[in-house]
């Protein structure tokens, strides 16, 4: 993260578009599905054929309300307007969007670091189709031919507009990540930035601390959280340099080039179109009943912040690595495994680590793994019945083939733990073979324990339990010192 | 010409057949269409197949519906699957919709036989059909005169006995004005009573589909068939179709009717005389006549010519050459769109798109479109106050009888003023019916207009029926 000098401060507001996971499009019955053959999910309504009329999708309203509620917004009676502009991927040459009366307004989002970012609004609108320009520059102007796929045209979107409360690129990234988690948790979106189901534009300006806001630039083409952070840093520095050289920032839309790592002018404000917004006379006002709102609110699942807190509470003073593992678990929505294991008496740290590593690595098969089988495996590892390596192998088997009996898998794999006698003999012979290392360990250099564990694992082909090795080493160190 | 009710009865009881009725209709079209330019497209093959199917179903003893075998004409801004639909515009020439309007499906389900698509002012913008890209329609009662518009073709089809009933659409008077000029009954129903799904939009908040007929009974029957909630139209009223035919002869005894000064002032003497005579006829039928003034109605015309073009400027944006209809190539997509729209739209359509674009523009919205919406609210409130005092209102439909070609076509304001009495009900979303009453110059028909509160169609038809009888037409 770039730190600005000379008293400059970054001011960022984010506009996040998310496609809603509805069965059908916002105003017609066409399937809302990414990746179909071009122009197969279309009908007279989403193609804007003469005479067709839009009818609002109730499920989209419900998902929009879920987002609003999760962001602590006020849900209010709202209207739909037409945003008029000519573009081939927009079948009616206007977009139906909410304008002065959005469904959700005045909310906030609390970030893991304790900061709060205001949410100005989260309104509903329809997506456009997708244009491919062939020949020429690859942009609209100068292309030889343009092909349009209207499958995406009319897919429901919610646009979440933050207040200009964000003060660093890292905070912007944290906001986007937390928002993504919320969108996934509500079931409103799959949050896939690479498929375009979540798209972020950043409004960036700089100012001297406590001065009025500077002129902002809107940055587009941010295809990942990393791009978001890099682009904000680049843009803030660009503006500071411009201002320090006595220049002025021009209000404009800028394009982020990920490869070159810079922004460039896309269009200036003077070119901005007059969208001639007016209320869409084909639609009626939207006023969800209190009863409907109450039902949606009651069914709202726990949000990431609450779920994160629940996991953090299972570990005393979690390390940074453990916090990262918890993020992975929350992000993937896998914490029920952890809670199940903890309820069965397992150590939370081990359970979190196994979920964040082994399960996360094989999400494709996660449905095969029952929380009970997972808990039993972690307990076996904890009791010493399985080494860490063996536990991972058992989990891998459970993920791949299912089943509810990790003991049987361990037995079939021949994972009999080394008996205490056998382990003692192995450790003794290794001490003899490595007198220098043993000497240093005996003098109190605990790092050497890892060396002996490694040697034990090597000679037992991973069948030993690391904790048991340490116990053996400690016993021998204490024993010797008593001599 | 038999009424639609008679045709349906004859087809149902076997004294006639759908095919015979269709042939009579097709023969009449063949006889007069070249002269009058009523139909832009006649679907001989489809209509014949539909008529045969009805006769066959009847022979099997099936119920073939309340409009069994009745040939019907559709204004060419209604989509019928596979049938060329042009809105009388070159920009849609050759386009065949892949779906049918809800009301077309309902008509066919009721046994009606759509015979073809009728001429209109381009995109329903006009009052004479002179704005059609495919030439004007002539008034069957006097071919040197206009039939009115924009639903002039649908009115002329019935006036020329090509069909007994037809469908039009009314945004500012486009059913009632041609009905008056062609001597027909024409109703604009309550906004939302008839589904707009498949009606090519001119001004979505004002457009409403309605019936043309020679008799009040036929108009009521036709509206009853097409009305009722449609889940494909979000502005469709939730209620099912009202019972109309059963109430046509309810009479008007004990009702209060307001004679509204603003709805006849400035009209030709013969028109004012007809309105007064209609009031007298209603009085004789037992109504109390109350003279009223509703000054807000004078603002209607200006508000309409901001709201309707504003919505049209957006509704007509989709005719860009990308997906359907005409395309004129250009250097790039933007140039193609511009060339397509320049070549495809006629002068009046362009005029209204520019008016509407201007009215919605940043910096002008409040002064024009915003102000017009306020007038609309005032109009709704003024009508509501009037209906707190009286059951229905009475006035003229048009300022005069059918005018000659070219008489107003070079003066947009003179043409726009032809709709001054019909526009307020569109702004309010209320129903109104035009019914022939009396005659003017050259013995041409005059229409008087009855207006009512939302969903008062049954009462409006009952009042229209009183005037129909008093006028000596049945």
Dihedral sign (CA A243, A247, A250, A256): negative
The count of CB pairs under 8 A between chains A and B is 107
SS3 content of chain A, % helix, strand, coil (to 5): 40, 20, 40
Mean pLDDT of chain A: 91
Using DSSP's 3-state secondary structure scheme, residue B349 falls into helix
Predicted local distance difference test score (pLDDT) of residue A1: 60
Contact yes or no for A54/A281 (Cβ under 8 A) = no
Contact status of B369 with chain A (Cβ, < 8 Å): yes
Report the residue of chain B nearest A143, measured CA to CA.
B332
What ipTM was predicted for this assembly?
A: 0.96
Dist CA B206 CA B426 (whole Å)? 5
Q: What is the mean pLDDT of chain B?
A: 97
Query: CA of A141 to nearest chain B CA: how many angstroms apart?
Result: 6
At A267 the pLDDT is: 85
> d(Cα B226, Cα B196) in Å, to the nearest integer?
11
DSSP E strand stretches across B153-194: 165-170, 185-188
Q: Do A84 and B313 touch (CB under 8 A)?
A: yes
Mutate to test the interface with B, among A279, A281, A284, A286 (most CBs of B within 10 A): A281
**How high is the pLDDT of residue A420?**
66
Residues of B in contact with A141 (CB under 8 A): 332, 334
pLDDT score for A479: 75
pLDDT digits (tens, 9 = 90+) for A375-389: 999 998 888 788 888
| pLDDT tens readout for residues B6-26 | 999 999 999 999 999 999 999
3-state secondary structure of A467: helix
Closest Cα in chain A to B199: A51
What is the value of pTM for the model shown? 0.89
User: In which band, very low, low, confident or very high, does the pLDDT at B408 lie, cut at 50, 70 and 90?
Assistant: confident
pLDDT above 80 for A142: no
* pLDDT surpassing 60 at residue B380: yes
The confidence score (pLDDT) of residue B237 equals: 97
DSSP 8-state symbol, A359: I
Q: How close A234 comes to chain B (CA, Å)?
A: 34
Residue given tokens 């564990």 in the structure block: A453
H or E element, residue A432: helix A420-433
What is the pLDDT at residue B210? 98
Band (B48; pLDDT cuts 50, 70, 90):
very high
pLDDT at residue A190 above 70?
A: yes
Contacting residues for B123 by C-beta, under 8 A, at least 6 apart = B77, B87, B88, B89, B200, B202, B312, B316, B349
Contact present, A378 and A346 (Cβ < 8 Å): yes
Beta bridge pairs of residue A254: A219, A265
To the nearest whole angstrom, how far is the Cα of B81 from the nearest Cα of chain A?
12
Check residue A410 and give its pLDDT. Answer: 87
**Residue A481: pLDDT band with limits 50, 70, 90:** very low
**Residues of B taking part in catalysis:** 75, 150, 174
| Predicted local confidence at residue A480, as pLDDT | 53
Compute CA B278 distance to the chain's CA centroid, rounded to the nearest angstrom.
Answer: 22
Q: Which of B221, B188, B220 is nearest to B450 (CA)?
A: B188
Of A349, A354, A389, A357, residue with least CA distance to A373 = A354
Write the residue in A94, A278, A284 that is nearest to B317 by C-beta.
A94
CB A41 within 8 A of CB A31: yes
Mutation to test the A interface, candidates B104, B329, B332, most A Cβ within 10 Å: B332
What is the H or E stretch that residue B302 is in? Answer: helix B300-315
Determine what percent of chain A is predicted with pLDDT higher than 90.
71
Q: What is the pLDDT of residue B1?
A: 85
Higher confidence at residue A467 or residue A357? A357
Domains and CATH numbers, chain B: 4-245 (3.90.1300.10)
Is the CB of residue A281 less than 8 Å away from at least one CB of chain B?
Answer: yes
For residue A41, the model assigns a pLDDT of 97
pLDDT at B308 over 60: yes
**Pairwise pLDDT comparison (B163 vs A465), residue with the higher score:** B163
State the pLDDT confidence band at A74, using cuts at 50, 70 and 90: very high
The predicted-structure confidence for A241-260, as pLDDT tens digits, reads as follows 999 999 999 999 999 999 99
Residue A419: pLDDT band (50, 70, 90) is low
301-320 in B: which are within 8 Å (CB) of A? 310-311, 313-314, 317-320
pLDDT, tens digit, 9 for 90 and up, residues B433-462: 999 999 999 999 999 999 999 999 999 999
pLDDT mean over B30-56: 98
Per-residue pLDDT at B12: 97
Higher per-residue pLDDT: B156 or A210: B156
CA–CA distance from B175 to each of A204, B80, B184, B383, B460 (Å)?
A: 55, 20, 10, 21, 15
> Residue A2, exposed/middle/buried by CB under 10 A (0-12, 13-18, 19+)?
middle
Only one residue has tokens 């066959």, namely: B56
Which residue is closest to A131 within chain B, CA to CA? B333
Q: Model confidence over A195-226: pLDDT tens digits?
A: 889 999 999 999 998 899 999 999 999 999 99
Question: Percent helix, strand, coil in chain B (nearest 5)?
Answer: 45, 15, 40
**pLDDT band with cut points at 50, 70 and 90 for residue A483:** very low
A284 contacts B314? CB cut-off 8 A: no
**Distance between CA atoms of residues A48 and A30, nearest Å:** 13
Provide the pLDDT for residue A404: 87
Locus of tokens 């008034």: B139
């Amino acid at each position: 993260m770039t730190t600005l000098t000379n008293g400059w401060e970054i001011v960022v507001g984010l506009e996040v578009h998310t496609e809603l996971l509805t069965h059908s499009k916002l105003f017609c019955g066409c399937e809302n599905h990414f990746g179909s053959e071009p122009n197969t999910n279309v009908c007279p309504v989403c193609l804007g054929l003469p005479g067709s009329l839009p009818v609002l999708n109730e499920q989209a309203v419900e998902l929009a309300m879920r987002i609003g509620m999760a962001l602590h917004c006020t849900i209010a009676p709202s209207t739909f307007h037409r945003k008029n502009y000519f573009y081939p991927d927009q079948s009616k040459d206007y977009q139906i969007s909410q304008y002065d009366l959005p469904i959700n307004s005045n909310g906030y989002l609390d970030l893991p670091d304790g900061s709060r970012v205001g949410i100005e609004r989260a309104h509903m609108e329809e997506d456009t189709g997708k244009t491919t320009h062939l020949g020429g520059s690859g942009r609209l102007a100068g292309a030889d031919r343009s092909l349009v796929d209207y499958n995406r045209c009319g897919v429901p979107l919610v646009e979440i507009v933050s207040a200009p409360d964000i003060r660093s690129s890292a905070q912007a990234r944290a906001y986007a990540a937390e928002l993504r988690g919320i969108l996934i948790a509500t079931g409103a979106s799959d949050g896939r930035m690479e498929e375009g189901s979540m798209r972020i534009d950043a409004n960036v300006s700089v100012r001297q601390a406590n001065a009025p806001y500077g002129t902002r630039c809107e940055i587009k083409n941010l295809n990942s959280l990393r791009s978001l952070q890099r682009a904000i840093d680049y843009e803030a520095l660009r503006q500071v340099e411009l201002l320090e050289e006595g220049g002025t920032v021009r209000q404009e839309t800028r394009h982020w080039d990920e490869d070159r790592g810079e922004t460039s002018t896309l269009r200036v404000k003077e070119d901005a179109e007059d969208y001639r917004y007016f209320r869409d006379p084909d639609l009626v006002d939207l006023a969800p009943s209190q009863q409907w709102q109450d039902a949606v609110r009651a069914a709202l699942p726990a949000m990431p912040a609450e779920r994160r807190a629940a996991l953090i509470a299972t570990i005393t003073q979690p390390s940074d690595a453990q916090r990262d593992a918890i993020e992975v678990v929350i992000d993937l929505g896998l914490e029920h495994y952890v809670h199940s294991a903890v309820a069965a008496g397992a150590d939370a740290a081990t359970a979190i680590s196994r979920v964040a590593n082994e399960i996360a690595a094989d999400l494709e098969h996660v449905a095969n793994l029952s929380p009970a089988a997972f808990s039993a495996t972690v307990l076996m590892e904890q009791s010493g019945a399985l080494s860490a390596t063996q536990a991972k192998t058992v989990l891998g088997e459970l993920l791949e083939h299912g089943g509810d009996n990790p003991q049987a898998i361990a037995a079939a794999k021949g994972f009999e733990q080394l008996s205490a006698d056998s382990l003692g003999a192995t450790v003794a012979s290794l001490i003899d073979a490595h007198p220098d290392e043993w000497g240093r360990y005996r003098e109190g250099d605990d790092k050497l324990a890892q060396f002996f564990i490694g040697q034990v694992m090597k000679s037992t082909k991973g069948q030993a339990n690391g904790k048991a090795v340490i116990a053996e080493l400690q016993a021998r160190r204490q024993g010797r010192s008593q001599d | 010409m038999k009424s639609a009710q008679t045709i349906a009865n004859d087809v149902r009881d076997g004294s006639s057949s759908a095919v015979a009725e269709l042939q009579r209709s097709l023969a009449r079209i063949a006889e007069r269409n070249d002269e009058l330019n009523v139909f832009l497209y006649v679907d001989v093959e489809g209509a014949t197949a539909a008529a045969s199917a009805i006769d066959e179903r009847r022979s099997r003893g099936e119920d073939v519906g309340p409009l069994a075998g009745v040939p019907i004409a559709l204004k060419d801004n209604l989509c019928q699957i596979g049938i060329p639909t042009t809105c009388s515009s070159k920009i849609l020439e050759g386009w065949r919709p892949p779906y049918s309007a809800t009301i077309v499906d309902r008509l066919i389900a009721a046994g009606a036989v759509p015979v073809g698509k009728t001429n209109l002012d381009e995109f329903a913008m006009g009052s004479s059909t002179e704005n059609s890209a495919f030439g004007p329609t002539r008034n069957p009662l006097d071919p040197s005169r206009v039939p009115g518009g924009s639903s002039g073709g649908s009115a002329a089809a019935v006036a020329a006995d090509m069909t007994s009933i037809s469908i039009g659409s009314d945004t500012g008077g486009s059913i009632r004005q041609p009905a008056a000029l062609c001597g027909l009954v024409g109703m604009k129903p309550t906004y939302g009573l008839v589904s707009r799904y498949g009606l090519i939009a001119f001004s979505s908040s004002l457009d409403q589909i309605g019936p043309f007929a020679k008799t009040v009974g036929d108009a009521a029957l036709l509206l009853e068939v097409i009305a009722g909630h449609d889940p494909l139209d979000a502005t469709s009223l939730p209620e099912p179709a009202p019972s109309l035919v059963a109430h046509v002869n309810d009479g008007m005894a004990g009702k209060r009717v307001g004679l509204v000064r603003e709805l006849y002032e400035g009209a030709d003497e013969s028109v004012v005389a007809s309105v007064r005579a209609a009031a007298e006829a209603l009085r004789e039928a037992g109504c109390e006549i109350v003279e009223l003034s509703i000054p807000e109605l004078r603002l209607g015309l200006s508000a309409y010519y901001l709201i309707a073009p504003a919505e049209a400027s957006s509704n007509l944006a989709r005719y860009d050459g990308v997906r359907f209809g005409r395309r004129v190539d250009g250097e790039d997509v933007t140039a193609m769109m511009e060339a397509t729209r320049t070549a495809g739209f006629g002068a009046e359509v362009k005029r209204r798109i520019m008016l509407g674009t201007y009215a919605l523009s940043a910096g002008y919205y409040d002064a024009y479109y915003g102000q017009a919406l306020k007038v609309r609210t005032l109009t709704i409130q003024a009508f509501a106050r009037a209906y707190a005092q009286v059951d229905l209102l009475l006035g003229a439909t048009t300022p005069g009888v059918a005018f000659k070609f070219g008489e107003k076509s070079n003066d947009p304001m003179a043409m726009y003023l032809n709709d001054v009495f019909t526009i307020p009900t569109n702004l309010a979303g209320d129903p109104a019916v035009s019914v022939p009453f009396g005659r003017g110059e050259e013995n041409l028909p005059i229409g008087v207009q009855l207006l009512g509160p939302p969903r008062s169609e049954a009462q409006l038809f009952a009042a229209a029926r009183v005037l129909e009888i008093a006028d000596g037409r049945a």
